[in-house]
Amino acid sequence: MKIVQVAPYFQPHIGGVESHVLEISREFIRRGHEVKVYTSQYDTSLPKHQDIDGISVHRIKPILNIFSTPLMPKLRQELLKTHCDVVHTHIPPPFVEFFSARARNKTKIPLVLTYHCDLELPNFLNKFIAGFYRRTFGHYSLLFTDKIIVTTNTYAATSRSVWHFKPIVIPNAVNIKDFHPDIDGSKIKKRHDMEGKKVVLFVGRIKFHKGIEYFVSAAKFFGDDTKFLIIGTGDFEDVVKNYIQTLKLEDKVILVGKVPSEELAEYYAACDVFVLPSLTRLEAFGIVGLEAMATGKPVIVSDIPGVREVITDGKEGFLTPPMDIERMAEKIKKLLSNPQLCERMGSMGRKKVETKFNITKIVDDLENVYSKIIK
């Protein structure tokens, strides 16, 4: 098949959607399919055309970028010119699905949409803007999409945007060859002076909705034998830095910043517990949680729609109410004080990833969707 993936952002931009599109595209190519990715040229220094691991990447310069949303009307023109069997669009951020749907109405090429999460904005205009988009551009796009995918059952049942369209559930995936329990994390521990220490890890963009300030606050309940690591960058970084300084936690909390993708698995290997303290529906799945589980680590995630479905509370890790610092710290302490429990939960997490979230299984499901709508 000739497959087009459409994503608002793609490599080298870091994020869950970007990671998902990269992994499924690699697997499609491994199976002999041809894959193109249309995305934004969010940085003018990036080439307009590039080959990444056999993926033909085409970047379109946005006419505007507002609230981290690249507006690319030219995407419709590019899709009208392309020759493919299926177009698969991923949101958020929004609008790429609107331009994809407009192209689909002209070409009749089947359109698949993965609705990764609802639109939310961190300001008082959120209800008005998100609601307006959902009733206009968003609704139009869903009407003219051949198949809608969501990543969890709870999100399908609770999202006001998609529940009337009978979406199917295909979760995000993790590459279990890149992330596995046999990775050595000793180099990372030595680099950050954490040898002999317990390590609690967060990985993700440093954004308001990630709840990182609550992760930082939990560190105050621990002694000098425990380090809290934060991997990632984002527009909330200065706030987090100031928060660390205000609480005088510079010796306990380490802001690592962006790390090379080839080293990420080593950071998971170096930790004892992984935490995803997300606050809002912008976190609908949490691929980083899968990566930690694939590396054999217990995870603590917020008890919110979508994210809660990745684990079973008490088996692969624990659920905690969002913004509840003391409960989060309590669960972290329970794991750090019981290495056998960590090992058991990590092992169960690895098995769950192998059976339910393996990249080969997910791409099998996507191939079936593509084949059915093409026919």
- Taking the C-alpha atoms of residue 332 and residue 275, their distance in angstroms, rounded to an integer, is 8
pLDDT in tens, 285-342: 678 999 999 999 999 999 887 778 888 999 999 999 999 999 999 999 999 999 999 9
C-beta of residue 56 within 8 angstroms of C-beta of residue 36? yes
Other beta carbons within 10 angstroms of residue 263's beta carbon come to 12
Contact 359, 173 (CB under 8 A): yes
**Please, which residues have CB within 8 angstroms of residue 321's CB and are 6 or more apart in sequence?**
302, 303, 327
For CA atoms 305, 310, 315, 317, the dihedral sign is negative
Span 16-45, average pLDDT: 94
The whole-chain average pLDDT of the chain stands at 91
User: What crossing angle do the helices spanning 339-356 and 287-294 adopt, rounded to 10°?
Assistant: 110
pLDDT over 80 at 216, yes or no: yes
What pLDDT, on a 0 to 100 scale, did the predictor assign at position 89? Answer: 97
For residue range 158-174, list pLDDT tens digits in order.
777 777 788 999 988 88
Q: Name all domains of the chain by residue range, CATH numbers in brackets.
A: 2-173+358-374 (3.40.50.2000), 186-356 (3.40.50.2000)
User: pTM of this prediction?
Assistant: 0.84
Q: Encoding tokens for residue 185?
A: 């994390």
For residue 94, the 8-state DSSP code is S
Average pLDDT over residues 205-225: 91
Cα 283 from Cα 202, distance rounded (Å): 14
End-to-end Cα spacing for the chain: 12
Going by DSSP bridges, is the β-strand pair 55-60/49-52 parallel, antiparallel, or unpaired?
A: antiparallel
Would you list the DSSP string of 285-313?
S-HHHHHHHHTT--EEEE-STTGGGSS-B
User: How does residue 217 score in pLDDT terms, banded at 50, 70 and 90?
Assistant: very high
Beta strands in 153-281 (DSSP E): 168-169, 198-203, 226-231, 253-257, 273-276
pLDDT exceeds cutoff 90 at 117: no
Residue 93, pLDDT score = 87
Task: Assess contact for 152 and 286: CB atoms under 8 A.
Answer: no
Q: How does residue 122 score in pLDDT terms, banded at 50, 70 and 90? A: low
Task: Give the per-residue pLDDT at 222.
Answer: 95
Alpha-carbon distance 231 to 161, whole Å? Answer: 32
| pLDDT, tens digit, 9 for 90 and up, residues 231-260 | 998 888 999 999 999 999 999 999 999 898
Structure tokens at 123: 């300001």
For residues 178 and 293, the answer to whether their CB atoms sit within 8 Å is no
Instruction: Look at residue 281 in the predicted model and tell me its pLDDT.
Output: 59
pLDDT at 269: 97
Q: Could you tell me which residues come within 8 angstroms of residue 184 by beta carbon, excluding any fewer than 6 positions away?
A: 266, 269
Identity at 329, one-letter amino acid code: A
**pLDDT reading at 188 higher than 80:** yes
Helix/strand/coil for 248 = coil
- Which pLDDT score is estimated for 196? 92
CA distance 349 to 341: 12
Cite the beta strand spans of 154-252 per DSSP E: 168-169, 198-203, 226-231
Task: Report pLDDT for 159.
Answer: 75
- CA 260 → CA 231, 234, 265, 311, distances in Å? 11, 16, 10, 27
Q: In whole angstroms, how far apart are CA 59 and each of 40, 114, 205, 207?
A: 5, 20, 22, 25
pLDDT of residue 124: 59
> With bands split at pLDDT 50, 70 and 90, how would you rate the model's confidence at 130?
confident
Least confident of 43-52, 177-186, 204-213, 312-321: 204-213
227, β-bridge pairs? 199
Average pLDDT over residues 51-60: 96
> Is the bond into 93 cis (omega within 30 degrees of 0)?
yes
Stated length of the chain? 375
Tell me what pLDDT residue 33 has: 97
- Token duo for residue 335: 């794991």
